[in-house]
Structures are given as C-alpha cells and as structure tokens.
Structure 1
Amino acid sequence: MNPRLTSRRHLAAALTLALGLLAAGASAQVYRSVGPDGRITFSDTPPAAQPATPRGQAPAAADTSAALPYALRQTAQRYPVTLYTGTNCEPCASGRKLLSERGIPFTEKTIDTSADVAALQQLTGADSLPALSIGQQQLKGFSATEWTQYLSAAGYPAQSQLPARWQAPAPTALAPQTVKPAAAAADAPASPAEPVVTPRATATNPAGIRF
C-alpha cells in the first residue's frame, strides 16, 4: 500500500472528526451564572430563573450600614452611656450635643416627675441635671472636660465613627408611670349615708311601720 495514500486518508479522517467536534461545540450553549457569594460558574445547563433587575438599577443589597463598627460596639457594651436630662435645661442640651458630635451611642432618660427624681437619686446619687453614666461611673453636672476625659478613658473614639444611617433611640422617662385601672364604683361620687331612724309606734300606726 502506498504510504502517502494512507497518510492522506488518516489526515482526512482527522479533519472530518475535528469539523464534527467544532460543529457540535457551536451548537452547544454555555451558560454563565453568579452565585450568592459572587462566585462565577459556567455550565451547559440553564441556571434557575431569577427575578430580572430593571435596567439601570443595581440589585438591592442588605442594609448593614446602621450597625456599629466592631470596636465601638465592644466599648458600648462594656461601658454603656446613659444621659439623664430635664425639660428646659441648657446644660442638658450642651451634654447631648457633646455626645452627638463625638459620635457616642447613648441612651437618654428624662427626669420630669417626682418618681423620676427618686429613681435618679437611687441610681446615680445625683440631685441635679444633667447626669451621665459611663458604665459604673457616675458624673454629676455638665463639664465638657470631665466628660471627655472619662469617655476617652472608657475607650470611646475621639472622632465619630457612627454610620451615616445610625439613629439614637428616642428619650424615655426614667420611671414611667403606670396607670392602674380604677373600679367603676370608685369613680362614682359617694352618696351621703342616710341616717337610720327607728320607727316609733303611734296610735294610728301601732306596728311602727315606716313608709
């Protein structure tokens, strides 16, 4: 057998096989998918249907911006800050401003009633406003220098690290009053007791019956 003829036949067969593979590859479709973790995979199987995202709009991401940074969260858990304020109290407003501008996550308790005053004295020993608690440390009255020193000693940052969407909780009363339901009879005005008159027997009413 002619070696050149055999070689040509092998070459033709190889070309035919290659063309067939190319044609098969051209007809097959490759799908690209992105997993929840951002990993990209390729497959010949279509990915599961997912809701389409409107053109020009990025997929919504989980809002975690309101969470405190780790270091700040650890400090706030170890040394929670509570501000005690009253109505029409300029030093209270100054203390609140200092905490807000420094980015201190704090809880505000209002002192408006005698029950609030008693609770404040029991908790902090303070009899004037504002008062500030930093962990177990109690500060009476507003002093920017003193408050700053104690906040720094507790580990709070000098500059605000609060997320842009972070919001302080609304102020609440230190000793909220609870209204107890009163009995219906207690709301009604008490009627004066009717004097007890002992009937007396008379000639026309010998049995002493009272009409």
Structure 2
Amino acid sequence: MQGAGAQAQTVYRVVGADGKVTFTDRPANQGAQASADTAGSASAAGSSANAQLPYELRQIANRYPVLLYSAKDCQPCEEARSFLRGRGIPFGERTVESNADIAALKKLSGQDSLPFATIGNQHLKGFGEDSWNQYLNAAGYPARSQLPASYRAPAPRPLTTAAPAAPAEPAKAAERQSAPAAGTLPPGTPTPSNPAGLRF
C-alpha cells in the first residue's frame, strides 16, 4: 500500500507582488512579501494603511482611492464619514480649517462647500447616499465591508500645511550686526550713502 506511508503535505497559497497566485510546498517569505505589499500600496495610494487590506480590496483602493474633505461641526460631513465607515470603505480624510485650506478646496473642487469627496478622479460634491453608492459600486468596491478587524484608518490631516515663517535674510542680519555705529567709520569706508567711499 503506497498511501499508508505517505504523510499529509501542507500546500501554501502565495500571492506575489504582481498579484499572481501560486501554490507551493514552501511558505512565502513573510517579511519580504509584507514589505513589497507595503511599498506597493504606499506608492499607489500614499498610505501604508492599505497594506492591511485583502488583496482585491487593496487593488481597488489603489486604483480608485477615496478621499473625504470635511470640517468640524459639519453634520453632512459626519454623515458621509459614517456612511463610508459603515460600508467598509478604506478612505483618507483631509480637514478644511484655515483660509489656505478653503482656497485649496475651491481650486480643487470649484466650490467651498463641504462635504466633498474624490473616488479616483471622480468628484462628489455634497453627500447623497444613493449617488455615493453608485460611484463606489462602479469603482468596484464591495457592497459589504471586507475590512479586517485589525484595520486602522489613517488619521485625518489638514488639507494644506502651514508654511514655516521665513527666516530673516542672513546676509542682511549679519550686515546689521557687524555695522559700526554711525560716525565711527574710518575715513574712506564705503557706506550706503557713499558707496565709493569718497572723502571730501
């Protein structure tokens, strides 16, 4: 009997970085695959949070990323956020708080009202559950949540970042510090009012 001495063999399902599925008797190099998945999702979606997603959902999220633009004390924004969470849509969020944020939103959407969202290149102005469902369905997002229990959405970020205060020009600051007090210059020294240093 040949089957009596045979041992059960474990078969591993391995998904490559290119999405190809192979079956093998050796486990995949978990560290290398995880880092490849993370690098791919970060470059495509700008967020390592997508690395936690099941493969098919990650592909959709990378191809048609969802981004919600919201503000504090905005009830429709809260409804839109709850809707996306309830349906299990992985999404990023940008908050609109400053005048620079409002200007950037107006440039992006052509208006300054919220909520505003993008699904890939598609713009959604205002929140309507039916229309948002249609666009999400068209993009291929599942009707029911497939988010793993360990999934953590990225924290909301401001739409624009405040520019740091420009430092004083170092040359002018040094010039002011090293300039001697008026009336103490030696004769013939060039000054702003006498650049050639002429003596009379």
TM-score for the superposition, normalised by structure 2? 0.58
Give the Å deviation of 1:68: 0.7
Instruction: Indicate the RMSD between aligned Cα atoms, in angstroms.
Output: 2.8
Aligned to 1:117, what secondary structure does the other structure show? helix
Q: 1:100 corresponds to which residue? A: 85
Q: Which has the higher helix share?
A: 2
Structure 1 residue 162 corresponds to structure 2 residue 154: no
| AA at the equivalent of 1:94 | E
Give 3-state SS (helix, strand or coil) of 1:98's partner. helix
Using the TM superposition, give the Cα deviation of residue 136 of structure 1 relative to its aligned residue in structure 2, in angstroms: 0.7
Residue segments in structure 1 that go unaligned for 5+ positions in a row: 1-36, 40-60, 187-211
Query: How many Å separate the matches in 1 of 2:25 and 2:132?
Result: 46
Task: Work out the CA distance in 2 between the residues paired with 1:119 and 1:91.
Answer: 20
Q: Share of identical aligned residues, percent?
A: 53
Q: Which one of 61, 68, 74 corresponds to residue 53 of structure 2? A: 68
Structure 2 residue matching 1:179: 3-state secondary structure: coil
In the alignment, which residue of structure 2 is the partner of 1:142?
127
How far, CA to CA, are the matches of 1:81 and 1:175 in structure 2?
A: 18
Instruction: Select the residue among 100, 109, 113 that pairs with 1:128.
Output: 113
The separation in 1 between residues aligned to 2:134 and 2:119, in whole angstroms, is 11
Distance across 1 between alignment mates of 2:93 and 2:110 = 17
Q: 2:156 pairs with 171, 182, 194, which one? A: 171
Q: Please state whether the residue corresponding to 1:151 is helix, strand or coil.
A: helix
CA separation in 2, counterparts of 1:157 and 1:165? Answer: 18
2:72 pairs with 1:87: yes
Q: Which runs of 5+ in 2 are unaligned?
A: 1-23, 35-50, 174-200
Map Cα deviations across residues 114-162 of structure 1 (whole Å, 9 max, x no partner): 1111111222223200001001110111111111111111100010001
> Match of 1:153?
138
Name the SS for the 2:67 alignment partner.
Answer: strand
1:180 equivalent in structure 2 = 165
Alpha-carbon shift at residue 87 of structure 1 (Å): 1.0
> Which residue is equivalent to 1:22?
none
> Partners in 1 of 2:147 and 2:94 — Cα distance?
21
TM-score scaled to structure 1, two decimals? 0.55
Q: Secondary structure at the match of 2:52?
A: coil
Greater Cα radius of gyration, structure 1 or 2? 1
Q: Which residue of 1 aligns with 2:181?
A: none
Residue 74 of structure 1 aligns with an amino acid whose one-letter code is Q
**In 1, distance between residues paired with 2:161 and 2:87?**
29
Q: Which runs of 4+ in 1 moved over 6 A?
A: none
